[in-house]
Amino acid sequence: MIEYKLTNKRKIMFRKPMTFMERIYLPAVLKGMAITLSHLFRKKATIQYPEQKRPMSEVFRGLHILKRDEQGAERCTACGLCALACPAEAITMTAAERKPEEKKLYREEKYASVYEINMLRCIFCGLCEEACPKAAIFLQNDVMAPASFEREDFIYGKDRLVEPLKLN
């Protein structure tokens, strides 16, 4: 039978026999322990999050906030542009008509009675912030969505998104 080879680059490998020092393993164990010990005295690469927090970049995009105006009324008019701009389809809302007695609560005649962001879908791209014509939604640069074991905890409603009222 004729054997055809594609190239002549074939290399036959042989296992090198272990030396005496390699066979007793002790130098390798000591070397490993020395590496471990040397790491004890180095500056730690990790921090005790969430008790400790690293300073964030000014352009970091974290958890959303629905802003109020100077009088404390919600800016969002439920126009839906943020939901339209969202590539992850993470935003849902329900629009409602403002009643005359609610003038102080909502800036415009229409407002979002329900506004939800699914943080498991969100990729924190900031397009919702850019699309908003009312400067109502922003991504905070110093707050992250906290971790949780429950999926429901990542559906953020108005109770967690709307800016708290300033009392003074």
Q: What is the CA radius of gyration of the chain?
A: 29
The beta-carbon contacts of 99-103 under 8 Å, at least 24 apart in sequence, are: 103/73
Least spacing, CB of residue 80 vs ligand SF4, in Å: 5
- Contact indicator for 56, 39 with CB cutoff of 8 Å: no
Question: How many C-beta atoms lie closer than 10 Å to residue 69's C-beta?
Answer: 13
Least spacing, CB of residue 69 vs ligand SF4, in Å: 12
Least spacing, CB of residue 164 vs ligand SF4, in Å: 17
Residue 77 is a binding residue for ligand SF4 (CB under 6 A): yes
For residue 52, the surrounding DSSP H or E stretch is: none
Choose between 68 and 93: whose C-beta lies nearer to ligand SF4: 93
What's the CA gap between 151 and 119, in Å, rounded? 9
Count of residues that interact with ligand SF4, criterion CB under 6 A: 27
- Torsion sign across C-alpha atoms 98, 103, 105, 108: positive
Choose between 44 and 151: whose C-beta lies nearer to ligand SF4: 151
95-134: contacts with ligand SF4 (CB under 6 A): 117, 122-128, 131-132, 134
Least spacing, CB of residue 4 vs ligand SF4, in Å: 56
3-62: contacts with ligand SF4 (CB under 6 A): none
Give the 3-state secondary structure of residue 128: helix
Tell which one of 63, 65, 68, 82 touches ligand SF4 (CB under 6 A).
82
Token pair, residue 105, equals 């609560």
What's the CA gap between 3 and 7, in Å, rounded? 12
Residue 78 is a binding residue for ligand SF4 (CB under 6 A): yes
Q: Which residues bind ligand SF4 (CB under 6 A)?
A: 76-82, 85-88, 90-91, 93, 117, 122-128, 131-132, 134, 136-137
